[in-house]
Amino acid sequence: MKPTQQDPQDDELDRMLRTHMNASNEQLTPSSGFTQSVMDVIREETTAPPPIPFPWKRLLPAAIALLCAMIGLGVFAGRHTPALPQGLSRDSFNFAISSATATNLLWIALAIGLSLFAATVSFKLAAGRR
């Protein structure tokens, strides 16, 4: 792109920018040890051990066991429901249980979602820094 001939001030500004930005006092010479220091960093990077991978293999059985335990607990709790207190009808009890369960499920789902989100973000951040 050549400087325009329309505005003489443009030419002058262009000349100043060209002259000053490429002036000899603007040209840096790399310091003598620069190449060596770059190569040292690169060698360090290549010789460094790879980052330890996340122990999915160990974590997965534990997570499955925990899930099974929770399901088992839920089933056990469902079979051993306490007797109805006197003065409480079956319908109102069922309503209370179902609404409480729905609310709890919502909270549980929300907590799991947040945990997954936090884990994903932290993994991405950690991967980005490598």
Residue 51 binds to another protein (criterion: CB under 8 A): no
* Chosen residue from 6, 24, 30, 127 binding another protein by CB under 8 A: 30
**42 lines the binding site for another protein (CB under 8 A):** yes
Tell me if 26 contacts another protein by CB under 8 A: yes
For the chain, what's the residue count?
Answer: 130
**What CA–CA distances, in Å, run from 7 to 11, 85, 107?**
7, 94, 68
- Report the nearest approach of another protein to the CB of residue 33 (Å): 10
CB nearer to another protein: pick between 5 and 89: 5
Residue 89 lies near another protein (rule: CB under 8 A): no
Structure token pair of residue 48: 């460094």
Residue ranges that bind another protein, judged by CB under 8 A: 1-3, 5, 8-23, 26-31, 34-35, 37-39, 41-43, 45-46
